[in-house]
Structures are given as structure tokens and as C-alpha cells.
Amino acid sequence: MNSLSLNNLLTAIYDPLNTIYIKSGGEITSQGDPGIIGIIPPIAPGNFGSKTFRKEFNLRYAYVGGAMVGGISSVAMVQALSNLELLGIFGASGLAPEIVEESVVQLKNSLAIERHFGSCLIHSPHDPQLEERLIDIYLTHGVNLIEASAFLQITPNLVRYRVQGLTELPDGSIMAPNRVMAKVSRLELAKRFFSPPPAKIVNALLESGAISRDEANLSQYIPMAQDLTAEADSGGHTDFRPANILWPSMIALAEEYTRKYDYLHPIRVGVAGGLGSPQAFLAALDLGCSYFVTGSINQSCVESGLSAPARELLAKASQTDVTPAPAADMFEMGARVQVLKYGTLFAPRANRLAELYRQYDSVDEIPPKERESLEQKIFHKPLEEIWSETQSFFSQRDPAQLKKAENPKYKMALIFRWYLGQASRWAINGLTERQTDWCIFAGPAIGAFNEWTQGSYYEDPMNRRVGDVALNLLYGLAVLKRFSLARDLGLVPDELPLPLKPLAPEELAEFI
């Protein structure tokens, strides 16, 4: 193929909605030419992922903006995604139930009736009443999709949500109004969501009158979660699983469980973790995912609930500017999150607290020099003051915590959690005097995205709109898919990379 033909071909590949007819020698020709030897079909960015997923949630694209704690995936972000027929999940975790209620009502009232959205339900082992309260809110306001994350087991509240409203349709299929999109990183946890709701919990709910006998019976024919997101190395809670190992195993397991329980509708597996470039989307697609979930990249967008100066830090991060740190909610069990290390010292400080927690059984055991250093460098206050703030917080919100804190180790955990939790709020609110303590959850996807957008319109975080970002990635995926077809046809040299920069919104509009 001569270089003119190659250039013409590459130019044509960038418009994924046209058909390319190729004749011998690699030249582009038009339809009807008897010398055609190959065709590269149009590939619309809306074609990717599961059709039933798009249909069920009335989407144009099988693309989900995952939940981000504390309203980082904000009402505005969910609205922006939803208006473009992408799916947004509100970041309800870490917010007071009244705020969650206000936000889901706002979403319900502002989105077109046919648009869907989800809200997060994060497992809160320290506060089971919170889970109950949130489920009540979701059921009362008809929030028909929850993203259930960090669950180690299926809880009665999850089952109550899933099972209430189950109805048998005249054709024998089951209508399940409440959908659970589970997010897990481990196969053994996935099995729980791929199975029907546990019979023991279903029976207890039936006895308590929370569900009807029909609902209880029907529940045994559907999986706990029709959709499950396999989360590889990502921002937020993460197990640091490699995507190319986790995703195919999860997809195979979903297929196995669909057969095992003879479900009418196959379980769908979406993928999350590391999706920050069109190349990563191509890998996810080729591994067979039903939908894509992004997080870290959305956090750097203007609709994000994160403060502008923190978003600027994110927009400068490279792939290696993220590191593990103890998770505020479950650090005692060794749970970790992945955070930004560029421009903040949160990770080493949080690790120090986790280390002290392992070493000592109460704050009083911490040697005076060490304690003084903690008070000056990390807490900026005497630990007694932190404890009295913690007491007044929990005496309103959850007095049972104070009872548990009669155990000095638990009291130490609550004091340390004050810092681990506040550090995220300082970043969200952009509290500059606490910048070195900002906890900004992020995975390496943000580095990949920054690399991809370097020198483009999107290098500046003020130009990052969550919808433009999503559509650019899907556009890039369509282009790459066509490029790989051209390669399969032997039309482009193996070593040739395709220069693929993101398009500014007005350029993108032509191809979407």
C-alpha cells in the first residue's frame, strides 16, 4: 500500500460512521466498484456493550459514571450523564441520609421521566441503621437502581430492596422493579450476587411482613444482582486486581451462574478500574464486558463535587502518582483505598495512624513524644479535643458507637477515623490550610487520561465535562475498533500506532 492510500485510509477511519470500501492495493473506492476486496463497516459509539443493558436503562451508550463518595459524583454529574443517555450513579456514600434524600428527589424531579439514574449503597458494617434508612429512602422515592459496593455478604436490607415489588408477568417472566448493580473485586463475593437472594433472609423478611409470599417465591428465580461490575485496580475502595485477569474470570462466572440457576435473563458483567483511554476501553470490550464504569477521570471534571484546586492536582497526576492508603471506614480490618500522592501527604500520615493502631491498644499507650507529634502534625489539636468532637458527633448520629468506644481500642479507631474521614472533606471543600492532608481517591486511570489529553482542549480541568469525556472515549473506541479491522485486513503495518487525540466538543459532535 502506498503512503497516499495509507493516509486516505487513516483519515477515513477517523469518521467511524462512514463505510470504507477498499480495492486491491489498499486504495479507497466507492460502493459498487467490482474491484472491492474489503469493507470496514461503520461503527457507532452507541453500539458497544450489552443491548439489553442499554434497553433496560433506556441508554444510548453502555457507559456508567460510577458512584463517588460524599457527592463527588454529584447531582449535576448524574444529570449531565443522564441528559446524554449515559448512566450516572449519585455518590450517596458518606452523606447524611437527609442530604441523600434531598438529592435523589432533586434528580427524580429534574430528569426526564424516561431517564434512569442510580444511587450508591455502600456497606456500612459500623452503622447498620444507616443502610436501613437509605433503603427506606430509595424505596419511598422510587430510586430503582442502586450501586451496592463493599458488601462482604448479602444483608436483609439489600434483599428487601431487591425483592419488594417482584411481579410475575403474563408471559411467565418476572418484573423486578428494583435493580442492584453490585460492585465487587472478588469471585467469591460475586457468587453471592449471582445467586438468588438467600432463602434464610427471604423467609425472615416474609415472617416480619416486609415482603409478601408471592415476592418471596419469585425471589428464588432471579439473581441478587442482574448487573455486576468487576472492579479492577481503581480509585476508591480497591483490591488492586489486574483487569485482564479479573474481568474474564468474572464474565465466565456470570455465565456459569446463569446456567446453574437457569435464569431467563443472562447476568451482565460490567467492568471498572483503569478505564482512562480509548485503548483501555478496547481491551475491556474485547474481553467481553457488558458495560463500562469510570470513576477517577470523572472526578477531575467540572461537574464533580471535588473542589477546583483539588481537581487541578488530579489533572496533573501521572499513572504513578497514586498510592494505597488505609480506608477510613474499615481501616481496622486492613481495608485500603487508592489515593493521589501528588501534592498531598495524606497517604504517609494515614499509614502512620494505621500502624499505631496495630501497635497500641489505646491512645493512652502511645508514647508522649509520638502523641505530641500526632497532635501537632496530623490532628492540629490535642487528642482530647478530637475525642470530644467525636463524642458530640456520635451522640447525635449514632450513640451506639460511644457505647462501643468504652473499649479503648475502639475509641482509638474513632479518633483516627476523625482524621481519615475529615481529610476527604477538606479536599472536597478545598480547605487550603489543610492541603497537605487532602485525601483524594484516585486510580491510575487518571494518569492515563492526563497522558491522552495532554496538549488537547481537555488538558485544562476547567474544560473537562463528564459527557464530553465519556463520548470522546467511546468515539476513540470506535476509531480504534476500525483501525484494528484495517490491521486484521493487512492494510496497515503492524507497528503503526494510530495517533488519537480527543476532540473538542464541537468537533466531536460530527461523529456522535
Ligand X SMILES: Cc1cc2nc3c(=O)[nH]c(=O)nc-3n(C[C@H](O)[C@H](O)[C@H](O)COP(=O)(O)O)c2cc1C
**Distances 212 to 158, 164, 167, 454, 505 between C-alpha atoms, Å:** 16, 8, 11, 56, 50
Closer to ligand X by Cβ: residue 26 or 66: 66
Task: Compute the least distance from the CB of residue 267 to ligand X, in Å.
Answer: 18
Contact of 484 with 58, CB cutoff 8 Å: no
Task: Compute the least distance from the CB of residue 45 to ligand X, in Å.
Answer: 19
Alpha carbon 443 to its chain centroid, in Å, reads: 11
Closer to ligand X by Cβ: residue 236 or 476: 236
Task: Compute the least distance from the CB of residue 450 to ligand X, in Å.
Answer: 13
Distance CA 474, CA 504 (A): 14
CB neighbourhood size of 97 (10 A): 16
Closer to ligand X by Cβ: residue 221 or 342: 342
Task: Compute the least distance from the CB of residue 236 to ligand X, in Å.
Answer: 3
Where in 204-314 does DSSP place strands (E)? 227-231, 236-237, 268-272, 291-294
Task: Compute the least distance from the CB of residue 352 to ligand X, in Å.
Answer: 22
CA atoms within 13 Å, Cβ hemisphere of 350: 35
Task: Compute the least distance from the CB of residue 248 to ligand X, in Å.
Answer: 18
CA-derived radius of gyration, the chain: 25
Closer to ligand X by Cβ: residue 120 or 163: 120
Closer to ligand X by Cβ: residue 59 or 317: 317
Residue nearest to ligand X (CB): 295
Closer to ligand X by Cβ: residue 40 or 184: 184
Closer to ligand X by Cβ: residue 183 or 411: 183
Kindly report the backbone phi and psi dihedral angles of residue 51, in degrees, each rounded to the nearest multiple of 5, phi listed first: -65, -40
Task: Compute the least distance from the CB of residue 70 to ligand X, in Å.
Answer: 8
| Residue ranges binding ligand X (CB under 6 A) | 66-69, 72, 91, 93, 120, 122, 147, 149, 183, 231, 234-236, 272-275, 293-296, 299, 441-443, 445
**Distances 223 to 228, 257, 259, 476 between C-alpha atoms, Å:** 10, 9, 12, 34
CB neighbourhood size of 152 (10 A): 14
